Each structure stands twice: as structure tokens, then as C-alpha cells.
Chain A
């Protein structure tokens, strides 16, 4: 971190010198910095952290720069481009700041550039990583001390293909500039080194629940590349945790079914009778389950179940289980769902 801090300090110094040169009229007053940070919204914690890091440096410097008093006006841009432009106008045109700083999200960073260039206001982005700020569209009045989004992912793509040995990867990424550039850098070098990106899922910024997106991930992917940050990381973890607990519960139910079936087989051997359906009490007249299916029940049936559930949901409900011929795939479906606590499912399928 000392290197990063030093780099930021040098950049701040350089920009300050530029700002003081440009705004000669303010030469005797305090140095004024307008700081735009997302203090609310999805990326609020990172916004507070970014400001706190700068604030630590200013405190250590005694709130002085180049022997002049330092004033910082902090504005919450909410991580929204339109709000950022409004606050930037206020800082530059009303508060008469010498320079702007802050901004995290790349869509916000790109959106502010035309105003920065038009005003000729020196600006520093300490964290933002929008590629084109240091590539195809380098602004005259802006310095970025952070990394470039794709630059970090180029080595990771090669590493995933060559060292980790992955062949097929699915991408789940936020649907905005940072997500595209991060995923794009990985995509490029992963495929340049023999891998295949087999799926890209773009998650909207207003997502509340990742579960529907995680459910779309292809089963033949070796791994999943995920880009999330701020509130989105929490939402992703909740969805992954929920999926894991569902999977664990599913495995427990599966093991319980097998144990019950095994116990039932032992009873059958003793009594010469057929076992009840998965050890669940059955109603009179309910069709019996052929032994062949019970014996075919294997661990990988869990995967088969997933496919069957999808197929069934598309085909509709309503007593289909009773109409399916014996020995068909629907029977496996019914067996798998039999332990449900729903009394209708216990008796009806």
C-alpha cells in the first residue's frame, strides 16, 4: 500500500500544480477539491472506503497542500451518472473547486469525462478502472491512478487456461462497462490459449436476486467466471448460499430415500411383499412402483431430476403423475418428490 499511497500522492501533487496554474485567480485562497463519491446506493461501502483513504492522507498532511489550506467538499453521487453530472456542475460552477476527485463505477466515469474536458477542470479517479480512459479515449484533464479493468483479467484468462487447465467456462457478469471490460479481458486471453467461453450471462445493475441467473448456467461448464461488487456481491453470495443449502438438502433427502428404500427391501425380503413408495405411507389404490425403477435409482438421478423438473414445468401440472405410464421417466420424478412435506404430493403422485 505504501507504493499506491505514494503514487496517489504524486498524482495529487501533479494535478494540484496543474490546478493552481490554471486557476491563478484562486492562488491566495485555500485549495478546494470537489470529491464525488457514492455514499449511498449499491456501491456505497466502496465509496466510503475511497474517501476514507484520501481523508487519511489529508489528515496526515495536516489538511494542507503546498503550504496552503485544503478544503474538501464531499458530494454523494449515488453511483448514478446523472446525479454525478449534477453534483459536478454544482462543485465546479457554484463552489468553484480547483479540481475534482473520486468516482468508482465505470459508467459514471465515462459519463463525466465530456464535462471535465469541456470545463478544463483537473480531475483524478483514484480507483476507477474504465479501459478507454488510458487507451482509445484518453482525456486531457483526467488522471487515473487505478488499474485498467481488462488489464487485470488478461493474465487471469491465460492462467485459467494454461495453469488451471479449464476448457469451458461460463461468464456471469454485471451488465455495464466494468463488467464488459473485465469479462472481455478474461474472454480474450482464455480463448487465445485454447479455452472456450460457452456462455455469457449479463446481470442488470438493478438485480435483487441472482438465483434466476445462476440457474441458467450451463451444466457442461468446467467453471464459472463471476464479476460482482458492492451490494451485488452480497446478493450473489446469498444466491449461491441458497443454492448450496438447497443442494445439501436435496442430497440429504436423496440419501434418506435410499436408506428408506434399503430398509424397505430388507422388509420385503423378510415378508415377500413389495415395498411402499419411498417409505412414505401410500393410499389404497395407488399404483405400485415397479422394482426395476427402484433398483435403478442411482446418485446421478439427481441431475436427471433437474431435467425432469424443467420438462414438467413446461408441460404443466395437474395430476400428470397418475396419467403417466408405469416405468416412464415421470415415475422417477414422482419418486424423487415423494418425501415432500406437502400432503397432496404424498398422496397424489
Chain B
């Protein structure tokens, strides 16, 4: 904008929540994200 960088919306995902597209109940069964979760399978 006016030659200066600024934040702008580049894409919108409609109808998602903090649980993303996952089933909320299933999502809450997994541990909270941590140092070890998700496991790093390709490290």
C-alpha cells in the first residue's frame, strides 16, 4: 500500500474452529501439543 508492505488476507478457510476440520471430541482425545506430540516421524 503506497509502496509499503502491509499484512493482507491471502486466503480464507470458512467454517473452521480451534479444532480445525477435525471432530472436536476426537481432537480432544489426543494430548495437547508438546515437545513430543505430534511425534517427529521423519526427524
A binding-site residues for B, Cβ under 8 Å:
131-132, 134-136, 147-151, 154-155, 159, 163, 168, 175, 180-181, 183-185, 187-189, 191, 196-200, 202
On whether the beta carbons of B20 and A189 are closer than 8 Å, the reply is yes
Q: Which of A148, A168, A180, A181 has the most CB of B within 10 A?
A: A180
Chain B residues in 8 Å Cβ range of A151:
17-20
How far is B21's CA from A220's CA once the two chains are assembled, in angstroms? 30
A181, A191, A197: which contacts B33 (Cβ < 8 A)? A181
Provide a sorted-by-A list of 14 A–B residue pairs whose CB atoms are within 8 angstroms: A132-B32, A135-B18, A147-B18, A151-B18, A151-B19, A154-B21, A155-B20, A163-B11, A175-B35, A184-B33, A184-B34, A185-B20, A191-B41, A200-B43
Q: A180-B34, A202-B35 are in contact. List 19 more A-B contacts (CB 8 A).
A: A151-B20, A154-B21, A155-B13, A155-B16, A155-B20, A181-B32, A181-B33, A184-B34, A184-B37, A184-B38, A185-B20, A188-B33, A188-B38, A191-B38, A196-B42, A197-B42, A197-B43, A199-B40, A200-B40
Looking at chain A's contact residues, is the secondary structure mostly helix, strand, loop, or mixed? helix
B binding-site residues for A, Cβ under 8 Å:
11, 13, 16-21, 28, 32-35, 37-38, 40-43
A154, A199, A200: which contacts B20 (Cβ < 8 A)? A154
A-B contact count, CB below 8 Å? 62
On whether the beta carbons of A131 and B33 are closer than 8 Å, the reply is yes
On whether the beta carbons of B20 and A131 are closer than 8 Å, the reply is no
Cβ-closest 5 pairs across A and B = A184-B33, A151-B18, A154-B20, A148-B18, A196-B42
Instruction: Give the residue name and chain of the A residue nearest to B35 (CB).
Output: A180
